[in-house]
Amino acid sequence: MPKRHSPDVVIIGAGVVGAACAYYATRSGLTVAVVDRGPVAGGTTGAGEGNLLVSDKEAGPELDLALLSTRLWRELSATLPPETEYEPKGGLVVAPDEPALKALRTFAEGQRAAGVDAAEIPADRLADLEPHLAPGLAGGFHYPQDAQVQPAQAAARLLAASGAALHLGEEVTAILRDPAGAVRGVRTARRELLAPAVVNAAGTWGGEAARLAGVHLPVLPRRGFVLVTEPLPRIVRHKVYAADYIADVASGSAALQSSAVVEGTPGGPVLIGATRERVGFDRTLSTEALRRLAAQAAALFPVLADVQVLRAYHGFRPYLPDHLPAIGADPRVPGLHHACGHEGAGIGLAPATGLLVAAALTGAAPPLDPAPFRPERDFGPADPIPPQEQQS
């Protein structure tokens, strides 16, 4: 017979989004249990680079969420331990030619109107920010609000600070509902966690968690690879990427896309992302993806051409067709809340997501308009599903 426990809210998922939901829910006075079939940060969070970006988001709801999270991460950095490696290093987006620079200029104008600090850097000043950048670039934009954390540590430290009860290595097999259809908790093989509210923060498995409650949420996995170099002196000072990365982020294509995002870390290794492709949960190593990343990184920073790559890792971004996360109460099932579908931005958007969820759980005024993130919204026409996803 499973044990029974009765918190105010159960959060499914111990990644950084679930951790942020737990943190802000407990700060709002709620008792919280977090359950995950694996360890803390065992999914998308543990495979991320730790990006806290505003630079790649056009003016709109996701940028609003990112700007709020930028402020919240800054506040959290003053209270969380140094292991989170919060680093407000800033970002540099570079353009290879004049047409790309003109497009960046237009993009930045819209961002500035929304509150982003974006400064154009002419070609002859790029070396002031990044001395090892390749010559011949047309210019770029500096984004001082971009930052970085160590994602697994951030999730672990947020969970520890929340004081939530953790139930790791326990897969949720059912979302319990009362005769009227409202949520009344979850069941695992070991226990029942009875609660009037359940938060689906299951990342790429958010669609599966939603199905347990009888609702549809079209979350799909989008695979990405990261290269890790040998420890180096700080030859890359900012988070640096080419302008075509912004288009990759906004694309719904199932095909392999790659645009190098290059950054140094406090420990010395340089991280090189990012690829995107929809192949279901296929964990096969893609030599083509790794080759593209290495070549694109060396094109941005020729000094990296002869640097040893120590390892590569990959993960799956939780993708929704309209490129906005699902956050908040699901009117189809009373007591069910969602906090998933952030794709590659979940680490950056986690604090604002947690604050929105906490407001929905307690009936408090939301920190920004939650309407664009409604879980029951029309996600638009679905992209063609590749055979790998049909088989997943």
Decide which of 4 and 264 is more confident.
Answer: 264
Cα–Cα dist 270/227, whole Å: 8
Decide which of 390 and 6 is more confident.
Answer: 6
Q: How high is the pLDDT of residue 1?
A: 46
Q: Where are the alpha helices (DSSP H) in the chain?
A: 16-27, 61-77, 98-113, 126-129, 151-162, 206-212, 244-250, 287-300, 346-362, 387-390
Instruction: Evaluate the CA torsion angle 332, 219, 202, 388 in order and state its sign.
Output: positive
User: Using one digit for the tens of pLDDT, what is the confidence trace for 346-382?
Assistant: 999 999 999 999 999 999 999 999 999 999 999 987 5
Q: Helix axis angle, 151-162 relative to 16-27, nearest 10°?
A: 30
User: Using one digit for the tens of pLDDT, what is the confidence trace for 251-287?
Assistant: 556 677 888 899 998 889 999 988 888 888 998 888 8
Examine the pLDDT at 6 and tell me if it is beyond 70.
Answer: yes
Backbone phi, psi, residue 175, to 5° = -100, 115
User: Using one digit for the tens of pLDDT, what is the confidence trace for 153-174?
Assistant: 999 999 999 999 999 999 999 9
Q: How high is the pLDDT of residue 273?
A: 87
90 Cα distance to chain centroid: 18
Average of pLDDT values for 317-344? 96
Q: How high is the pLDDT of residue 256?
A: 76
Cα–Cα dist 390/279, whole Å: 9
By three-state DSSP, how is residue 126 classified? helix
Q: Are 311 and 231 in contact (CB under 8 A)?
A: no
- Helix (H) / strand (E) element for 119: namely strand 119-122
User: Using one digit for the tens of pLDDT, what is the confidence trace for 87-126?
Assistant: 999 999 999 999 999 999 999 999 999 999 999 999 999 9
Q: How high is the pLDDT of residue 392?
A: 41
User: Using one digit for the tens of pLDDT, what is the confidence trace for 170-221?
Assistant: 999 999 999 999 999 999 999 999 999 999 999 999 999 999 999 999 999 9
Give the number of other CB atoms < 10 A from CB of residue 217: 23
Cα–Cα dist 256/75, whole Å: 37
Distances (CA, A) of 150 to 21, 126, 153: 18, 27, 6
Average of per-residue pLDDT values in the chain: 93
pLDDT-wise least confident of 59-68, 289-298, 353-362: 289-298
Backbone phi, psi, residue 68, to 5° = -65, -45
Question: In sequence order, what are the residues at sequence separation of 6 or more whose Cβ sits closer than 8 angstroms to the Cβ of residue 306?
Answer: none
Q: For residue 229, give the nearest of 291, 312, 302, 296 by alpha carbon.
A: 312
Q: What angle do CA 76, 82, 85 make, to 5 degrees?
A: 80
The structure tokens listed for 317 are 């971004």
Q: How high is the pLDDT of residue 391?
A: 42
Q: Residue type at 74?
A: R
359 Cα distance to chain centroid: 21
Examine the pLDDT at 390 and tell me if it is beyond 70.
Answer: no
Bridge partners of 275, per DSSP, are 258
User: Could you tell me the pTM of the whole model?
Assistant: 0.94
Q: Are 145 and 96 in contact (CB under 8 A)?
A: no
Cα–Cα dist 388/48, whole Å: 22
Q: Are 240 and 91 in contact (CB under 8 A)?
A: yes
By three-state DSSP, how is residue 370 classified? coil
Cα–Cα dist 377/244, whole Å: 29
The structure tokens listed for 199 are 């938060």
